[in-house]
Amino acid sequence: MRETVRFLLGDEPVEIASCDPTRTVLDWLRLDRHRTGTKEGCAEGDCGACTIVVGRLDGDRLRYEAINACIRFLPTLDGCHVLTVEHLKASDGALHPVQQAMVDCHGSQCGFCTPGFVMSLFALWLNERAPSVQRIEDALAGNLCRCTGYEPIIAAAQRMDAAEREQDRFVAAMPATIARLKSLADGETLSIGDGERHFYAPATVDALAELVSTHPQATLVAGATDVGLWVTKGMRRLDPVISLGRIDELRGISDEGDHLRFGAMANQIAVREALATISPQLDEMMRRFGGEQVRNAGTIGGNIANGSPIGDLPPALIALGATLVLRKGSERRELPLEAFFLDYRKQDRQPGEFVEAVLVPKLPAGALFHISKISKRFDEDISAVCGAFYLELDEAGRIREARLAYGGMAGIPKRAKAAEAALLGHSWNEATIATAIAALAQDFTPLTDMRASATYRLKVAGNLLRRFLIETTTPDTATRVAGLLAEAAHG
Ligand SMILES: Cc1cc2nc3c(=O)[nH]c(=O)nc-3n(C[C@H](O)[C@H](O)[C@H](O)COP(=O)(O)OP(=O)(O)OC[C@H]3O[C@@H](n4cnc5c(N)ncnc54)[C@H](O)[C@@H]3O)c2cc1C
Ligand code: FES
Ligand code: FES
């Protein structure tokens, strides 16, 4: 075991021998290192004021990602390259091309949000050439500007691409940075504490399995986009903490023929890319999953294991017929994802067990699939209702298999079994859908909360089914909708 956390802060090697397991990177930067360019706005991953860029090794590549420092725990930086807004200005005082573009386009509006915007743009600039406006908006969806001055910032994002990337000092330094990070990657389990509480970060799945068996009550941390808030908002003192962040084996996504296999640590960016090959609607739904910083950190395993009734992936994966692979020591068991959710925040996970992988079937030829996420705000908002539907029809056009899964309708992500029964054996048409919509009232007694009323939820759940019917039975739906919108626009 290694007992120090090691990472690079810009060019500077950092080694920490004693550390509160849930100290946030933001607090460490601001309070210990006096790097106050990184701001605290919400302390819950929503506003982006705390955005920093973190590089991690991905095989022989260095992958830079924008993340929220406010909900990232300091020891999880082990083996990473950390860049804050202070690093961008050169030692001779010259602004980085990303900063210069912000100045030139009048994108620098207030000192509170600007550093976060700059760091999100810096990550985009490092990773992508000539991003579209849509892509720029996606990359900035996790940065809130309270004065609503997004236009000059988007203009800056378009301008910055002209800068000479190859000559950039961060790009030029990448081979040396990769070599330095490789020298830190020793394969040892990291074990560190502050005398009171303890943190572990194994480097292999086998070491994780052993640690979780030894400490069955430990809090597992993947991307910390949920767990971070337990600390910053819930003031919880977690002990011990086991981080899965160093285990590259758990990040992989592979094509296994009739299904995709997702390692539990695959982040939402990679999950989106893979699910897009199954359905473009999954791509669109994942585009609206948190902001870019949350998607960089948050994982498929965390989204399932947290057992949230309003998580976006469980309904989609249940409708697709996904299987969960759970591991305890050297034993593995598989269970249908829907069986994992027992009751509100209660899952079929034994002490010492963890989620190792998720197996997601591809759509067979002719199968119909739909997913809709309904939230109050389009970007970076949690669902009020999420509906995901899968249908198979027989040669006569009758429904022979149906999986209708909803989030936000019960204490767990849940299938609508009565509505499914109303569909089976019937033709896929308006009369059938009307019966299925009526049956939803037997399946669900939704809650009224700040996101939506019970009446609204039930109404929307039915309307989503009808949307699925219209979409799959009217080939020219898109043309019709465009026509209706054009008509409406002309009064
Ligand atoms: C600003 C913001 C926006 C968000 N938007 C969305 C959204 O649009 N849609 C949505 O669904 N969610 C959203 N979330 C919630 C969160 O990002 C997701 O649930 C995310 O997928 C959690 O993954 P994680 O890796 O960060 O999990 P963590 O926070 O690390 O862990 C979550 C839970 O899972 C457990 N866990 C993690 N990995 C494993 C494992 N392999 N085995 C067993 N247990 C494990 C942890 O112990 C913990 O109980 C948002 C969160 C924030 C802060
Ligand atoms: S402070 Fe708002 S996202 Fe971190
Ligand atoms: S840039 Fe800070 S409020 Fe708009």
List the domain boundaries for the chain.
1-185, 252-489
Choose among 399, 482, 413: nearest CA to 446.
413
Distance 37 CA to ligand 2 centre (A): 13
> What are 373's two structure tokens?
């996420």
Which of 120, 208, 303, 324 to probe ligand 1 with, by most ligand atoms within 8 A of CB? 303
Q: What is the pLDDT of residue 263?
A: 98
Q: What is the pLDDT of residue 241?
A: 98
Choose among 245, 173, 198: nearest CA to 8.
173
1-185 and 252-489 share one fold:
no
Which contiguous run of DSSP H or E holds residue 180? helix 174-184
* Phi, psi (degrees; rounded to nearest 5) at 122: -60, -45
Which contiguous run of DSSP H or E holds residue 9? strand 5-9
CATH of domain 1-185: 3.10.20.30
Q: What is the pLDDT of residue 163?
A: 67
Distance 143 CA to ligand 3 centre (A): 10
Q: What is the pLDDT of residue 474?
A: 78
Closest ligand to Cα 29: 2
Query: Average pLDDT, whole number, for the chain?
Result: 94
Q: pLDDT of 395-407, one tens digit each? A: 999 999 999 999 9
Residues whose CB falls within 8 Å of the CB of residue 75, separated by 6 or more in sequence, listed in order: 5, 16, 19, 21, 23, 190, 192, 199, 201, 243
For 152-163, the three-class secondary structure string (H helix, E strand, C coil) is HHHHHHHHHHHC
Spatial distance between the Cα atoms of 305 and 23, rounded to a whole number of angstroms = 23
Q: What is the pLDDT of residue 481?
A: 52
Q: What is the pLDDT of residue 488?
A: 56
Around ligand 3, the residues with Cβ closer than 6 Å are: 109-110, 112-114, 145-147, 149
| Strand pairing category for 5-9 and 12-16 | antiparallel
Q: What is the pLDDT of residue 293?
A: 98
Q: What is the pLDDT of residue 379?
A: 86
Choose among 294, 229, 219, 223: nearest CA to 265.
223
Residues whose CB falls within 8 Å of the CB of residue 187, separated by 6 or more in sequence, listed in order: 203, 204
Q: Which CATH architecture has domain 252-489?
A: 2-Layer Sandwich (3.30)
Which contiguous run of DSSP H or E holds residue 123? helix 114-127
> What are 103's two structure tokens?
């100045």
**Helix%, strand%, coil% for the chain, nearest 5:** 40, 25, 40
Q: What is the pLDDT of residue 319?
A: 98
Spatial distance between the Cα atoms of 262 and 360, rounded to a whole number of angstroms = 8
Which of 225, 242, 412 to probe ligand 1 with, by most ligand atoms within 8 A of CB? 225
Q: pLDDT of 104-146, one tens digit each? A: 999 988 899 999 999 999 999 999 989 999 999 999 999 998 8
Mark the ranges of the chain whose per-residue pLDDT is less than 50: 491
Closest ligand to Cα 147: 3
Q: What is the pLDDT of residue 146?
A: 81
Q: What is the pLDDT of residue 461?
A: 98
